Amino acid sequence: MERLSVFGLLLAILCAITSKYGSYGDTKFSNCSKNDLEALINFQNGLEDPENRLSSWKGSNCCQWRGIDCDNSTGAVVSIDLRNPFPVNSDSSSSTNPLNSELPDWLVNISTLVHFDLSNCNLFGRIPLGFGELPNLQYFSLAGNDNLSASCSQLFRGSWKMIRYINLASNRLHGKLPSSIGNMSFLTNFDLSMNNVGGGIPSSIGKLCKLKEFDLFGNNLTGSLPEFLEGTDNCVSNSPLPNLMYLRLSNNHLQGKLPDWLGQLGNLVELDLSYNQFQGPIPASLGNLQNLTIMSLEGNEINGTLPESFGNLSELSTLDVSVNHLTAGILFPMLMLAIRKPWSNAYFNFLDRIVDKLLWVKNKRS
């Protein structure tokens, strides 16, 4: 069930974003370039396509093929969008889109690519590293293929200057995130959840002034969160990650203290650090996050009490700090919160058992 809801969310995000990239102009005037045509035919030859989704992939003008968009003046292919709207594992098997293929290295010969989306297509094998060198690529999704692998340190090492959107969730990525991701200055969405990414989070992410979503839940991350973020004075607002709304790092092996910069992420809506090995106190600065709606810190080794500043979290609707080493302390912040905005969900369990569980249940979570 967890899996399905994650896919549902991915899908919603994909649909929302791809609707902006509808068409790159009037394709009937353009003629596909010979090199792009060869690369696509090479790709098509490796596909199974049992449902004949690529029946329009005939003739020499690939600009008229389904899922392909060209620059109308040059005929260069700028978009390949064959995403399957249905997750591979969903029940609606009649509507799945199994291309059951590897991604050929030659696909990256289409150097004019701006938009590439082959999510949920049952692709396997390696992600060609050349994708990380495509100079114009802005949107890159291979989410939900389950079986695609790549080394993060190689794929993200390069000159991916224009990239805005990366979604490789639910695959088999491994290796460490290189500090060069801090050079992707246009990056807004970075989703590598449900992979096998190891190592730590580079402090260079502080340079990503436009980043809205940073998702790495369900990986093999280790070490502490960086104590300080790099280059936070690059951004107009001078605060770290000024546009970050979603930070999800749950289900990893992260440890150490929660850094103070978390409390400076003024636009944060969701903070999910659950099921790691974080220790020490909850920074009082988290009480500054005026837009925070969901805070999940459960399943760590956090001790101390809830900071009084939590009384200021007026948008919070879900707070889960259960399965930690917290003591109840004073209940003032919780009462303040409950008065300001009744929570839908709140979960505690305290070592001193003064209060084992407080629940304000509006929408019961299963």
Ligand X SMILES: *[C@@H]1O[C@H](CO)[C@@H](O)[C@H](O)[C@H]1NC(C)=O
Neighbours of 286 (CB within 10 A): 23
Residues 178-197 as b or e (16 or more Cβ within 10 Å = b): bbbbbbbeebbbbbbbbbeb
Residue 264, amino acid: Q
Nearest distance, CB of residue 53 and ligand X, angstroms: 21
Identify the residue among 44, 89, 100, 109 touching ligand X (CB under 6 A): 109
Q: Which is nearer to ligand X, 60 or 93 (CB)?
A: 60
Identify the residue among 180, 234, 255, 349 touching ligand X (CB under 6 A): 180
Identify the residue among 145, 309, 322, 345 touching ligand X (CB under 6 A): 309
Give the per-residue contact string, 40-59, with ligand X (x = CB under 6 A; - = no): --x-----------------
Q: With contact defined as beta carbons under 8 Å apart, do 303 and 324 qualify?
A: yes
How wide is the angle at C-alpha 250 spanned by C-alphas 224 and 90, nearest 5°?
150
Q: Is 311 in the site for ligand X (CB under 6 A)?
A: yes
Identify the residue among 237, 255, 312, 344 touching ligand X (CB under 6 A): 312
Euclidean distance between CA atoms 246 and 200, whole angstroms: 18
Helix-, strand-, coil-residue percentages of the chain, each rounded to 5: 25, 20, 55
Q: How many Cα atoms within 13 Å fall on the side-chain side of residue 136?
A: 14
Give the per-residue contact string, 65-94, with ligand X (x = CB under 6 A; - = no): -------xx---------------------
Q: How many Cα atoms within 13 Å fall on the side-chain side of residue 111?
A: 4
Q: Total binding residues for ligand X by CB under 6 A? A: 38
Q: What is the DSSP string of 72-84?
A: TTT--EEEEE---
Residue identified by tokens 């944060």 is 268
Neighbours of 238 (CB within 10 A): 10
Q: Which is nearer to ligand X, 53 or 174 (CB)?
A: 174
Identify the residue among 185, 234, 267, 344 touching ligand X (CB under 6 A): 267
Residue identified by tokens 């905005």 is 341
Identify the residue among 12, 15, 26, 352 touching ligand X (CB under 6 A): 26
Nearest distance, CB of residue 125 and ligand X, angstroms: 5
**Which sign does the torsion angle of CA 275, 278, 279, 283 carry?**
negative
Give the per-residue contact string, 217-256, with ligand X (x = CB under 6 A; - = no): ---x-x----------------------------------
Give the per-residue contact string, 128-167, with ligand X (x = CB under 6 A; - = no): -------------------x--------------------
Identify the residue among 21, 25, 64, 210 touching ligand X (CB under 6 A): 25
Q: Catalog residues that contact ligand X under the rule CB under 6 A.
A: 25-26, 29, 31, 34-35, 38-39, 42, 60-61, 72-73, 106, 109, 124-125, 147, 179-180, 183, 196, 198, 220, 222, 266-267, 279-280, 287, 290-291, 303-304, 308-309, 311-312
